Amino acid sequence: MGTMLDKLSNSKRKTLQEKEQEANKPNFVDLFAGAGGLSYGFIRAGFSVAFANDFEEVCIRTYKYNHPELPSNRVLEADIRGIVDNIDDYVQEPIDIVVGGPPCQGFSSANKQRIIDDPRNELYKYYIKAIKKILPKFVVMENVHGMLSVANQVVEDYESIQEERNGETYTYSVSYRLLHSADFSVAQARERLIFIAIRSDIANDQHITPNGLFDEIERANDGKRQYVLRDALSFIPPLQAPRIKNQNEIDSDECGKKIAVNPFRGDDSPYLKLINGGRQIPFLFNHKARYVNDINYDIYRLLEPGDDASDEKIADIMPYRHRLHCFKDKYYKLMPDKPSRTITAHLRMDCHSHIHPFQIRAITPREAARCQSFPDDYLFLGAYLKTYMQIGNAVPCLMAQSIGEILKKHL
């Protein structure tokens, strides 16, 4: 991928793009790409991005910076509802795989015959429409555990696809499984519901099924080393939380910087070697501690790893004590010798649920990114709190890479 300066140089980016075009790799389209966790994993698996889309401006900026091998006109900031009908304008070549995680809601509306048809799930419907237009060989769709309640309805939608192209009718077979990030050597306990669909001609030619592919993915994980939070928090400078408001955008040696010289190599441990691809990385991005007020500082200080908001040590100062039935997880000090609890986009609101196990502060965006298996030189652009949102919404890179490696065998 080159150095940080290469990513800022138009001439270096052009060279990388020309080299990528000549490589003739299998390709994919990433819809609802976010900051690019799925994309980065598939790139590490040997794929090339044909097109990526998201409606969040800050995500597109992050994506473009970290993917210098992709021409800017192949990364589009747009609502899928406005581009799906003319997606041929952006995707002309045949596509091997479409990946993405369309946001879905409304899973608790059990009184509806088809919950997936809830109007709040409109974007999912446009994802299906894009599949019909692009007709990729494979589809990988990811979502939250909650989508399990409508998974069979999603299967119905994929299996109802019948698209005629050049005299041939294409259909899809599809299956789904809950995959656990820790099984993919990610230092985080995170469940994702993954759907894999195969176009009918590919399934017949390759004699493969979606369930067979999931079996391959799970077999590939056999014997993989599992990592814990301590692995993600090692070989990174200690920080102090700012105690004055409105300091999140101000760099300092004590509280951290958006871009800093890395005092370590980047390959100092097996986990860092894994997420950084064995590279030495001279810079450290997004390692800044978050402001904490006096009450929260005392809560962070008093809790031990594994303690939550119900702990008696903070009973007299816990501001949500009277609502513990719904705020028990409001505060939680992470356990160093277990995979991190799930990194979520809620961290942009507060980080009380992800208190550092050894330092009196919450985890930084960089530490959260390590738990998501992003490399240390993956720079998240935008306002400080927006970086947490981008990281929390991502698919762990190592999980995406492992899925991509299995699918690549059948192309």
> What secondary structure does DSSP assign to 151-193, as a single string?
HHHHHHHHHT--EEETTEEE-EEEEEEEEEGGGGT-SB--EEE
Q: Which of 59, 104, 371, 397 is catalytic?
A: 104
CA distance to 311, 332, 372, per residue, from 407 (Å): 46, 38, 22
> What secondary structure does DSSP assign to 67-81, as a single string?
-TTS-GGGEEES-HH
Pairwise CA distance, residues 279 & 275, whole Å: 9
Pairwise CA distance, residues 25 & 218, whole Å: 25
In the residue annotation, 371 being an active-site residue is answered as: no
Quote the Cα angle for 65-71-76, to 5°.
Answer: 75
Quote the Cα angle for 64-400-332, to 5°.
Answer: 95
Q: Classify residue 350 as exposed, middle or buried by CB count within 10 Å of its CB (0-12, 13-18, 19+).
A: middle
Pairwise CA distance, residues 368 & 271, whole Å: 14
Which amino acids are annotated catalytic? Answer: 104
